[in-house]
Chains A and B, each alone.
Chain A
Amino acid sequence: MTDISSQQPVPTVDESARGTAIIAYILYLIGWPTCHLSTIVALILAYIKRGEVRGTIWESHFDNIINTFWVTLVAGIVFGILCVFVIGIPLLFGLAIWFLYRTIKGLIRAIDNKAYF
């Protein structure tokens, strides 16, 4: 184990992609205290890194990060408008839980070296 790592000090694409995916998920989780700036950083990371990992399990993680962002943004705007009618409030609450579900599930699966499904 230590021999292999000392022979190859340069991280492989997989290790680098895993680290990026985990950082991106953590940036999603700290989105609220940072006024969602960290969410934008994670989205940029995902777009840049996705091209390098085509065909690997990490592509599914970056797809998940990107899709989660856009679905949450569009649904958040629609549900925000629906708050004029009371129905938007529980929908926004559900959206937040869905966002956390996708992010935490992805984070756990990235830590376990598995693809996001």
Chain B
Amino acid sequence: MSDPQSAAPPQAASDTRLLVIICYALFILVFTNGLTSIVGVVLAYVKRADARGTIWESHFTNLIHVFWTGFVFFVVFFSAALFGVAGLWHTAITDNFAAPVLVLPLLGAVFVVYVVWYLYRIVRGLLFALENKAYA
């Protein structure tokens, strides 16, 4: 495993580095389209096996971790948002205040915190990758 890598290290390493940077770029571009992080995580899964034992493995692990955390976050977020919208609808048609409405402003604050965390992981990883360092 380590022998083929040491046979041709510079080429393989710079290719992997470029791929890691592209993956981070795809994770940032997700804000414009909502889809490119899926491309990025597929790339990360495919290439992580090739990068075992190198510093780039930590970057692919980071990308995969961020993706699945985001996936779980959005499932929970939209379930809770649906709950809040149902409360809003109930308030509107019955004229009685329904407590689930209070979920909505709370979700707004949680969303901001989540976006900051997401960008922190991605931007920090991108900086490490540009400096040829492992994600730590």
Contacts and interface: CB of A to CB of B under 8 A. Distances in A.
Q: Tell me if chain B binds chain A.
A: yes
Interface of A: 34-35, 37, 40-41, 44-45, 48-49
Contact of B119 (A35, A37, A49): A37
Nearest to B121: A44
Contacts, number: 22
User: Secondary structure at chain A's binding surface: helix, strand, loop or mixed?
Assistant: helix
Interface of B: 28, 31, 115-116, 119-120, 123-124, 127
A34 B120 CA distance: 17
A80 to B, nearest CB: 15
Nearest to B120: A44
Nearest to A49: B127
21 contacts: A34-B31, A35-B31, A37-B31, A37-B115, A37-B119, A40-B115, A40-B116, A41-B28, A41-B119, A41-B123, A44-B116, A44-B119, A44-B120, A44-B123, A44-B124, A45-B123, A45-B127, A48-B123, A48-B124, A48-B127, A49-B127
The 3 closest A-B pairs by CB, nearest first: A44-B123, A44-B120, A40-B119
A37 B118 CA distance: 11
Contacts of A35: 31
Nearest to B123: A44
A34 B119 CA distance: 14
B113 to A, nearest CB: 11
A39 to B, nearest CB: 10
Contacts of A45: 123, 127
A84 to B, nearest CB: 18
B31 to A, nearest CB: 6
Nearest to B130: A16
Contacts of A37: 31, 115, 119
